[in-house]
Amino acid sequence: MPIAIVLALVVVGSVLFHLLSPWWFTPIASNWGYIDDTVNITFWITGAVFAAVVLFLAYCLLRFRHRPGRRAAYEPENKRLETWLAIGTAIGVAAMLAPGLVVWARFIRVPADATSVEVVGQQWQWAYRLPGKDGKLGAADTRDVSDTNPLGIDPNDPRGRDDIIVQGGELHLPVGKPVALLLRSLDAVHDFFVPEFRAKMDMIPGSVTYYWLTPTRTGSFEVLCAELCGVGHPYMRGTVVVEPEADYQAWLAQQQTFEQMQAPAKTGALP
């Protein structure tokens, strides 16, 4: 009896903890509400199964407790029960996996009007590259990295000359406009994660991974590296500022281009 009560309390406590926990989603700041939906579906299914199994255990402890003179029946096979358990489990697993596949397909299908913004991860800091006046990013290769070219932009690609480079500072994005985030790493595997955007993806040295999002509200959001990338991993943080288009354009105008970075003496952009 005491064990059955403890099991029932575990179920009640788990449900209460889930509902009253302060460690819930931060208020969302992107179009990816679908991600929250898939997480919630998983919570509902796993939570209902957990509660049902533990309560069934408590019931069995009471109902089939030891009584003098009563013997347990030996029944190792039960075709009907096994069939229903297999069908129920299959439906539950499919219900948890299928929505994720649908959301993933949307997550990586970049809309045609999205602006490309590059995020470069490096032990242990973030850098960003935004297209200049031509609206296009130039080619880049880690082999081109040097003191005056920290992101390895191809110096022979004319599209890259006006690219805007933000190193170690904040990334600004206009609210309500879709952005494609092109993710690159110069060394280890990193992962660009902004919890309020509900979006993250690994950055693999030698390739460009990507996802897209539309920021839906203004504010300052923390960037975290979500892949263990060395001793400085916990300090690999940054800030994304989502702001109205006019503020964003004003910020953009103050940033330096790759050309200015290459020839600081000529343009006087750097001290």
> Which residue's CB is nearer to Cu ion, number 196 or number 227?
227
What is the Cα–Cα distance from 159 to 161, expressed in whole angstroms? Answer: 6
Q: By rule CB under 5 A, what string of x and - marks binding of each residue 172-191 to Cu ion?
A: ------------------x-
In angstroms, what is the minimal distance from the CB of 233 to Cu ion?
A: 5
In angstroms, what is the minimal distance from the CB of 25 to Cu ion?
A: 23
- The answer to whether the bond into 124 is cis (omega within 30° of 0) is yes
What is the Cα–Cα distance from 120 to 131, expressed in whole angstroms? Answer: 14
End-to-end C-alpha distance for the chain, whole angstroms: 78
Instruction: Kindly state the tokens that stand for 83.
Output: 């069939």
What is the Cα–Cα distance from 130 to 257, expressed in whole angstroms? Answer: 9
Q: By rule CB under 5 A, what string of x and - marks binding of each residue 16-55 to Cu ion?
A: ----------------------------------------
Instruction: Kindly state the tokens that stand for 203.
Output: 């950055």
CA 136 to chain centre: 26
Within the chain, what is the greatest distance between any pair of CA atoms? 99
In angstroms, what is the minimal distance from the CB of 202 to Cu ion?
A: 10
Sheet with 115-122: list strands edge to edge. 209-213, 179-185, 115-122, 125-130, 164-167, 256-257
Q: Examine residue 201 and tell whether it contacts Cu ion (CB under 5 A).
A: no
Residue 208 in contact with residue 183, Cβ under 8 Å? yes
Q: By rule CB under 5 A, what string of x and - marks binding of each residue 206-245 to Cu ion?
A: -------------------x---x------x---------
Residues in contact with Cu ion, counted by CB under 5 A, come to a total of 4
In angstroms, what is the minimal distance from the CB of 190 to Cu ion?
A: 3
> Which residue's CB is nearer to Cu ion, number 198 or number 200?
200
In angstroms, what is the minimal distance from the CB of 229 to Cu ion?
A: 3
- Residues found near Cu ion in the complex (CB under 5 A): 190, 225, 229, 236
